Structure 1
Amino acid sequence: MPTDHHDRTEAALSEPLGSRLTVPRLRPDVLPRPGLVRQLSAIATPGRLTAVVAGTGWGKSTLLTLWAGRQSEPRLAWFSVEPTDNDPARFWASVVAGLSRIAGNAGSADGALPRLLATAGTRAADDVVPALVRELEQETEPLSLVMDDYHLITDPEVHRGMAVLAAHLPAALRLVVSSRSWVTLPDGPHPSGGISGISPNISPDITAWHLRFSAAESAELLRNADPAMAADELAFLHEQTDGWAAGLHLAASSLANRPATTSIATALRSANGHIEKYLLGQVLAQVPEDMQAFLLRTSILQRLTPELCAAVTGRPDAADLLDRIERDQLFLVPLDESGEWFRYQHLFAAVLAQQLQHSEPHLVPELHRRAARWYDDQRMPVEGVQHALQADPALAAELVARHAVPVCFRGDQDIVLSWFAELGEELSRSDPALCVARCTVAAAGGDGAEMNRWAGFAARAIELPDTPPAVVRATRIGLATTKWGWAYYSGDVGSSLRDVQRARELAADDLTPWRTGTALALSLFRSRQRQEADALLTDVGATAEKHNEFLITMISHGVRAIIAADDLRHEDAERLATAAEEIALRYALREHYAAYSYHMARGWNSLRRGDYAQATQPLRRARQLIRRGPLALETIEVLTATAIVEQRLGFFDPSARHLGEARQLLMRCLDPGYLVADPRDLRLSRPPTRPARPPADLSYREAEVLGLVGEGLTTDKVAERLGLSPRTVHAHLRSIYRKINVKTRPAAVRWAIAHGVTSPPTVDPPAAGPPEGDPPSGRGSA
């Protein structure tokens, strides 16, 4: 808990998002293709996913750009997908950022979506996408989201999130996706806050058959390049390219300045079916040597900007060269309106990269090194490590050791694990800093065996002769801190106290004592040394805030509030909980799992006062947050406090469930230490018998529906539980509302609790969402 988790959106927001969220500019010679645009407009209606699926070079992006430019409403978001988007946090941060420009509060600085994205422990498909759907359901006017090049996504978690979105598209949203191939999405039920039943695939609506140029369109494009071309020559080129847009553009570019004595058949016969040779011989060979060198050496880059190209090639005139490439239409695709970021057409880039390996293989590693250092200087570690891994193991090791833990803690653990896989175990085992980083990543993922294995490698690595003392000390501090986290989070308080004391001894002259101070305070509190813990947390919170360590500050206030509530210092508890909440609100921490602390403090404070009804809501919120993190002991306390409140209020079934869950967790803890709410101290009472017949003339089926709704189940989940359709559940709800004389879902839940039809909800509500009213007539979200 004391580790400072980075904002999960930092990876996307640190990049030039405008270059990826802007409709690309069209070339001046592009054909308007009005018929195809009208066909796409007829298919891409609100509430529907429309897929444009075809191989490379068929003009998918051009069609989408033409279509986007002809939309009557201005609310259109564009997202150019890249290979680095194979990470759920990065992918959905970009989607939210794009939609925030057109869809009201979706993704705004004070909205729920950025808070969810900033929360360690959330999953895109389970938390972010359902919240996004709920926000977009509030939109009443049509809006469009275009995802270009979705075929670059291979990550199953991104696909799972897309499946959720595809299966439950808001009524106002047009979702248009382009891909080189069909995309198979996960199928089956999905427990994500009211969203279930996932669409199995993204099947094509527009294919290569639709995208192929007609003979007339091919002739128009080619005559723009060479007005003197005869009809038989045009027909020959159309036949040879089969209407393939990229092939036609390649032909037009290469034939524009052909000698008059060279026939088209002769020029293209050898290139037919050999696009790579065609590009090299008829396009690349036509540019000056300095331009060729620039094209080849920048082909290692997925995206181009003048500064990056200058750093990689050593050419101070990189901006001028990019301008020339764009003017000469050498397959340079602008990615933003300002003309700062570009990429090469994918096929062209592949040919350039292959030629670079053939002509200057010795230079490729150095080009990647330069790119890695440039990205590192720009604080873009994912791209920097990606280039370093392709060129220089030593540089890659340096960057991975430095960035692995921060990138992991912001939610990109899969990316970090892929780095270690590419480095290889032999290299990682020989570097103490890499061993500690790998150990910490394993602990963050809950893999104790892997954590211990890498801790052993680190210990052996620093035993080697000539290891610098500073490296030995830093390694031992890192291992002790990681071991503290593992011991504490798994409920071994005695070991955690020894580990953190060892870390404090090693870091006696550390200039950032709050990092180990919070850990020591938590272990002291669990060891029944609450006064020492409270005093240390006071110092830690004040020092951390001065150094902008606001997560540590929030934790210190929240835990002190729990201690005050447990000591019956009710006013101090509320004051400290308010201070923690203010920090959380000010610095976007309210969705972090550690924010559970001030909710738990308020719930425990109300419980200790005997105000059980007042304790219900803060404990429910604490329960929701604590499930996102690794805190076993704190989870036990929240569940037990909830069970106490429910039992005092007479809701015995959920009390038994929560108490049982707390006791199961406790059985896994080797040395739990002191718990403010201990499940071993709570005995269950027997519930009274409920009425034989439902009240208010409700039918037995209506009582079942209302009971499940009162327990927190969504409409889809009620339908699934009872074997009904969502439409039938909606009909039952309308009848129930009429019989019990209520108009909203919350009112119905309160009525059900008051009349013994149900108990308080046992399923935690979503973090944010629209107010619930009358049952909707269409979609099955609660």
Structure 2
Amino acid sequence: MEMVYTAQNVFLATKMQAPRQRSLYVQRPALYVQLQRALEGDLTLISAPAGSGKTALLAHWLSKSVYPFAWLSLEPEDDEPARFLSYFIAALQARYPQIGVSSQALLLQSPQSVRFEHVMAVLSNEITVSNLPHFIMVCDDYHLITSEAIHTAMYFLLEHLPPQMHLIFATRSDPPFPLTRLRAQGRLTELRMADLRLKKADIQTFLEQVTERELDTDILETIEERTEGWVAGVQFAALSLRNHPLPQTFLHSFHGNHRFILDYLSEEVFVRQTPAVQTFLLSTSLLERLTAPLCNELTGQANGQEILEALEKANLFVMPLDDARQWYRYHQLFAEFLQARLRQSDPEQFIVLHRRASRWYEQQGLLLEALQHAASARDSEVLVALLETYGSQCILEQDLSQKVLDWLQLLPERFYREHIHLCVLKAMAFIYSRRPTEAPPWLQRADSLVILDNDTHRLVRGRLAACYALVHLANGEIEQCADSAHRAIALLSEDEGLLYVHVMQCALHAYLATGDVTQETERLAVTALRASRTSNNHVLYLLSLTNLARIQILRGRLHQARATYHEAEHLLSLYPEQPVPPGKAEYAIGTGHILREWNELAEAEAFLQTGLEIQNNTPLLNVELMSHGHMILSRLYQAKGAYEQARGAIESLNLLLERQQFAPYLYARAAAAQADLALMNKDLATAVSWAETEKSEIQPFLSEQALLIRIRILIEQMRQSEETAQAEELHSLLQRMQEDAEAKARQASVLEIIILRALILDLMGRTSEAGIIIEQAVKLAEPEGYIRIFADKGEAVEALLARIQLDYPRRQAYVQQLRAACRPHEKADTQAVPPTLQNSRRTFVQTLVEPLSERELEVLQLIATGASNYEIAQQLIIAVATVKRHVTNIITKLNVNNRTQAVAEARKYGLVE
């Protein structure tokens, strides 16, 4: 029995070998020529009904071809993206071991979150840059694939096919590819039923070989007419004719469509076998693949290999799958006939045989096959035992959540009353199938079965709490999500793998519930980061980094947050072969957030779109992150004047929210975003209509942005109507909001509130106070390079900025840049206006022989504040030795002798204050 083992998978080698050639076969020279010519294109599609000879044709042609080839025989279980791609790459490696190393690694690390097009991109690159000769890749029985993700990945490969590679699909139905376009481009060759039909001469040759006698012309014509050249039909006729004493009599009963012919001929073949062979055929008919040890397990005999070889010699619908004759398979239609007969004659034995097959596959480590046989037998006891042991592994490591749901659906109700693990497993399967609304009833059932003081229930209680956290995360219920996550962490260990990582992700969102990002909150985030850094869990490390960066954004420290995201980016670069891990979407959206604020709109757009795409394709739904990303993207499009695209971003958010009942603040946030869009598009009436229905006072942090949008709309309404009766009330509200934001260290919120206060004071005629307030905002914003927080409020803020005169030249240049960004219909090109701190830095740095890195600039800023190496290391969360290295580099690049001279030189060019 030949198998291929990797670190995490067991592959059946026979799936990756072309079937052995049969001795009785009609040569098809015309088809061989067509197949040879097809190699000039990209894809050969052999699409025809079952029994048309597709596999045999390819096997014989390839045996004569000068081109090397890789082969993959597909099964129903391969209709899972990660499993399919693993086997696809393994089949290539069976021919070329050096190919597919990086792409296979992507799948091994995190199959449930991988982007399959990315896997194909890596694979295509590996082949393209290799020195491989022209070769052929065959996917046999591709009709068994229904997964949209697999079709998308395969078409991606086809569109980016390496020049050395040619694809061949043998299938009963066309794949969902744009075949018309491929034909027009000359990239597709097709062989269909009409091409594969046996001609009269072919039928005569074949029948006379099998029957070992000459047949009359009328017999040959009748068989040709009734079979229409269908290869399987001709084979069935030949097998019956071989031992039939009166061929003419046989023809009288040879009629009907091919299904009836198959049933009739299968009966004729089956009943002519000895009782021992009949028993063997029935007992092994439920197997997709046959090998002697497995057959012996099912039959209770020891002569499996002997019978298999005898069946092969008798051409009894048994095909060898390898040259060593260790693995075989039945013709699919013949196997189906045998299975139907077994169910009818001995239904209890059918269950017993599936149970034996399941046990054998489990012993071989082939868990999917073990579960499938248990499910096929409707053997609830065995299925429950396997699911309780391996079910979570199937969901978390193999992305088989829907398959697990199918298996669980087979179980009688009583098992859920007796097995708490099944209730949790079903909830988990719903969650990872992106159907979180269907999970709570099963979690509640598990709750009712939990025994709190039972140590054996510790793990299930941990998984139960984890599932609750994930449901809350999907619903945007951040506070409940964090509470459940903390309970789960206390009960689970890192051995839970991806589930533990996802629970940590939930726990890290706790601060979002209150908006409290004080030093204590940041200290806890830094502690979590250090712990994850010293562990071997780089995914948890990535999540900790992105969590800390978001806290830093809320605290108003954009440069520090960008540096933290740089560290996350570096971590991702260390694992280029990894699939998309949890945390990458947060990294991309968070980076886009900062870049949009800095008015670097093109780069920000790319990050935001990438982050939303990643999150949309992950098994778990984080609706808060999706909402956050869509809001930022909408504001980015507003800044570009692309109002239709801005509206589209909000419409996408609304479509997401229509799917289920989410937390109320998410709907309020979406409605506020639409009102904000109307305000930016000068549709004040629509914006005011929304604002007048949004009457709430200070709200939780998650709804803060909606309240600030309402205040902006009311300010604009007062500006245009010159009616300021509400101004004092709104200003008082903003003061209370500022007190809350300051108490919780949300400097970004403080900055936005101060700007709105300045606008209201100006409306009230308190221009001197408004000037002081807006100057305070500029001083607060300039070190971090804020732009859009001013510019999004348009001409009213520009008018305020025009009144202030700052003595510090660089800060005055910053004000000019803000004014330019505030003006409508102007491209806020940062290169066309006086440079900010950031642009001054870039201009000077670019003149150096060896430019300062972003991290070195951050160290330089802290040196200027008088921070010691240890204090810098603590703030940037790096080692003291790393700080010393950065300081040495700074002194060398600035061509100075010490830290003091470095600060002085930097101040000359506005790098530090």
Please say if 1:482 is aligned against 2:473: no
Partner residue in 1 for 2:480: 495
> How far 1:344 moved relative to its partner?
0.7
Q: Note the C-alpha offset of 1:417.
A: 2.9
- Taking structure 2 as the reference length, the TM-score comes to 0.59
The aligned residue for residue 666 of structure 2 is 667
Match of 2:53 in 1: 59
Whole-angstrom distance in 2 between the partners of 1:587 and 1:379: 29
Aligned residue number for residue 171 of structure 2: 179
Q: Which residue of 1 aligns with 2:23?
A: 28
Q: Say if 1:220 and 1:510 are closer, same or farther in 2 by CA, change over 3 A.
A: closer
Asked if 2 retains the 8 angstrom alpha-carbon contact of 1:562 and 1:604, the reply is: no
Deviation at 1:369, TM superposition (A): 1.1
In structure 2, what is the equivalent of residue 91 of structure 1? 84
SS at match of 1:300: coil
User: Which structure dedicates a bigger proportion of its chain to helix?
Assistant: 2
Q: Please state if 1:110 is matched with 2:102.
A: yes
Give the counterpart letter for 1:407 in structure 2.
Answer: C
Distance 1:68 1:591 in 2: 38
Match of 1:589 in 2: 578
1:309 equivalent to 2:295? Answer: yes
Q: CA RMSD in A?
A: 5.3
1:151 and 2:143 aligned = yes
Instruction: Indicate the residue corresponding to 1:757 in structure 2.
Output: none
Report SS of the residue matched to 1:110: helix
Letter in 2 for 1:396: L
Matched, 1:408 2:395: yes
Amino acid at match of 2:461: R
List per-residue Cα deviations over 1:250-280 (Å, max 9, x = no partner).
Answer: 4444555x48xx2333456546555456555
Match of 1:371 among 357, 363, 366: 357
Q: Is the 8 A contact 2:233 2:262 kept in 1?
A: no
Shift of 1:452: 1.7
Residue deviations 1:308-336, cap 9 Å, x none?
33333333443443333334332222334
Which protein has the larger Cα radius of gyration, Structure 1 or Structure 2? 2
The CA distance in 2 between the partners of 1:491 and 1:298, in whole Å, is: 51
Distance 1:341 1:683 in 2: 71
Equivalent in the alignment of 1:360: 346
Mapped contact 2:624–2:666 kept (Cα < 8 A): no
- Output the amino acid matched with 1:206: L
Q: CA deviation at 1:388?
A: 1.1
Q: Aligned with 2:410: secondary structure? A: helix
For 1:183, give the aligned amino acid: D
User: How far off is 1:628 after superposition?
Assistant: 4.2
Q: Alignment partner for residue 248 of structure 2, among 244, 253, 265?
A: 265
1:164 & 1:254 partners in 2: Cα distance? Answer: 46
Preserved CA contact (<8 Å) 1:562 1:600 = no
Match of 1:219 in 2: 204
**1:637–1:676 contact (8 Å) kept in structure 2:** no
Q: Partner of 2:427 in structure 1?
A: 439
Separation in structure 1 between the aligned mates of residue 558 and residue 437 of structure 2, nearest angstrom: 42
Alignment counterpart, residue 531 of structure 1, candidates 509, 523, 537: 523
TM-fit CA distance, 1:298: 1.0
Tell me if the contact between 1:12 and 1:90 (Cα under 8 Å) persists in the aligned partners.
no
Q: 1:30 is aligned with what amino acid?
A: Y
Aligned to 2:275: 289
- Provide the C-alpha distance between the structure 1 equivalents of 2:494 and 2:109, rounded to a whole number of angstroms: 36
- Contact 1:51 1:178 (8 Å CA) reproduced: yes
Match 1:341 to one of 327, 331, 352:
327
Say which SS state the counterpart of residue 169 (structure 2) adopts. strand
- Distance in 1, Cα, partners of 2:332 & 2:231: 14
Q: Aligned partner of 1:436: which letter?
A: V
Contact persistence 2:463–2:492 (CA under 8 A): no
How has the CA–CA distance of structure 1 residues 363 and 101 changed in structure 2, closer, same or farther, with 3 Å as cutoff? closer
Identity, % of aligned positions = 25
Q: Pairwise mapping of residues 645-656 of structure 1 onto structure 2 (< 5 A)?
A: none
- Partner of residue 783, structure 2: none
Q: 1:246 and 2:241 equivalent?
A: no
Q: Distance in 2 between matches of 1:473 and 1:123?
A: 34
Partner of 2:875: none
- The Cα of 1:34 is off from its aligned counterpart by 0.8
Deviations 1:398-453 (A, max 9, x none): 33344443323343333233223333667546642221112122223443421222
When residues 35 and 431 of structure 1 are mapped into structure 2, their CA distance, relative to the original with a 3 A threshold, is same
Q: Against the structure 1 CA distance between its residues 675 and 266, is the aligned structure 2 distance closer, same or farther, given a 3 Å change threshold?
A: farther
User: Alignment partner of 1:20: what SS?
Assistant: helix
Structure 2 letter corresponding to 1:246: A
Work out whether 1:80 is the aligned partner of 2:73. Answer: yes
Distance 1:613 1:103, change over 3 A: farther
Distance 1:677 1:659 in 2: 30
Equivalent position amino acid for 1:387 in 2? H
1:371-410 equivalences in 2 (<5 Å) = 371-391=357-377, 392-409=379-396, 410=398
Task: Name the residue aligned to 1:421.
Answer: 409
Aligned length: 659
Which 10-residue stretch deviates more, 365-374 or 142-151? 142-151
Partner of 2:11: 16
**TM superposition score normalised by structure 1:** 0.68
**5+ residue gaps in structure 2?**
658-664, 670-699, 704-743, 753-788, 795-820, 828-913
In the alignment, residue 265 of structure 1 is paired with which amino acid? Answer: Q
Say which SS state the counterpart of residue 78 (structure 1) adopts. Answer: strand
Q: Per-residue CA shift, 1:184-225, capped at 9, x if unaligned?
A: 738899xxxxxx9999xx999433333232232223223333
Mapped contact 1:218–1:248 kept (Cα < 8 A):
yes
